[in-house]
Amino acid sequence: MSRPASKLPSISPLLRTRLPNDLAERIKGLIQRDGYGPGDRLPSIAALARDFEVGAPTVREALKRLEMVGTVTIRHGSGVYVGREDDSLLMTNPVFSGMPSKKMLLDLIEARSAIEVTGAGLAATHANGEQLHEMARLLDEAEAHLGDDELLNQTNMAFHRAIAIASGNTVFRQLLEVMTSLFTREQRAILDIQNSRADDHRQHVGIYRALLARDAQLARDLMREHLGKVRADLEQWDPETHPIR
């Protein structure tokens, strides 16, 4: 059931400088305030973008984060619907004022590896057609923006979150969402340190092809290799001679 469009004018504008997870909180508040129930269709992405005064890509990213925790379900070609889960572990975005340390970045990759290698294998088994289509879309978007670090970082992390969603493991997907939300700056720093955007993209494409082939072992191996390469780059990084921008 769709809610009446007349509800939309009650939405207050969102400042353009807010991060996608701030918008996710506002959309979650809209759902609760306006009485949307499981299965109800939300306003279109265009309508949400207009009323929150943000771009459609920001709305899509916010909705992806809500999908990660089960608050909404995105049905391509149909719309966005309220989900049947609301077991979010964390949706906050605390401000971190210091520069990410080398140890912090290594610890982050170690934690991600513990989740994402197993998650890739599960995604090879459980991913549906819509989820695979979304991964392909994100890869196309990343390839088109290899020179735009800000957009590329957002798209790359959206690709990793899409795999976590496709794994079917609620805890995996929420833990990855927590890590990528809390450590946004650190993820961006890793992209700067690696300085191998085309190679990184080729690794993502390889993981996607393994998922498409339903090869769970290959998907795990390629994800392990991918994150292992990130870790190796970090271990060789000297913060003194090559500080984070």
Q: Print pLDDT tens along the chain (245 aa).
A: 545 444 444 444 444 434 687 888 889 888 888 888 888 999 999 999 998 888 888 898 888 878 766 788 888 778 898 886 554 444 444 444 456 677 878 888 898 899 999 999 999 999 999 999 999 999 999 999 888 877 888 888 889 989 999 999 988 888 887 776 655 665 666 766 666 788 889 999 999 999 999 999 999 999 999 999 888 888 888 877 777 66
| Structural contact between residues 237 and 100, judged by C-beta atoms closer than 8 angstroms | no
pLDDT for res 57: 87
What three-state secondary structure class fits 80?
strand
Non-local (6+) Cβ contacts of 56 within 8 A are 45, 46, 49
The ranges assigned to domains in the chain are 5-82, 102-236
Q: Which long-range CB contacts under 8 A does 180-187 form with residues at least 24 apart? A: 181/21, 181/65, 181/90, 181/91, 181/92, 181/93, 182/90, 182/92, 182/93, 182/94, 183/100, 183/104, 183/108, 184/19, 184/93, 185/96, 185/100, 186/100, 186/104, 186/105, 186/108, 187/108, 187/153, 187/157
C-alpha to C-alpha distance for 85 and 81, rounded to whole angstroms: 12
CATH class of 102-236: mainly alpha
pLDDT for res 100: 66
The string of pLDDT tens digits covering residues 21-44 is 788 888 988 888 888 888 899 999
Neighbours of 197 (CB within 10 A): 19
Tokens of 128: 């549906």
**CATH: 3.40.50.11900, 1.10.132.20, 3.50.50.60, 1.10.10.10. Which one for 5-82?**
1.10.10.10
Reported pTM: 0.63
pLDDT for res 95: 40
Q: What distance, in Å, lies between the first and last C-alpha atoms of the chain?
A: 48
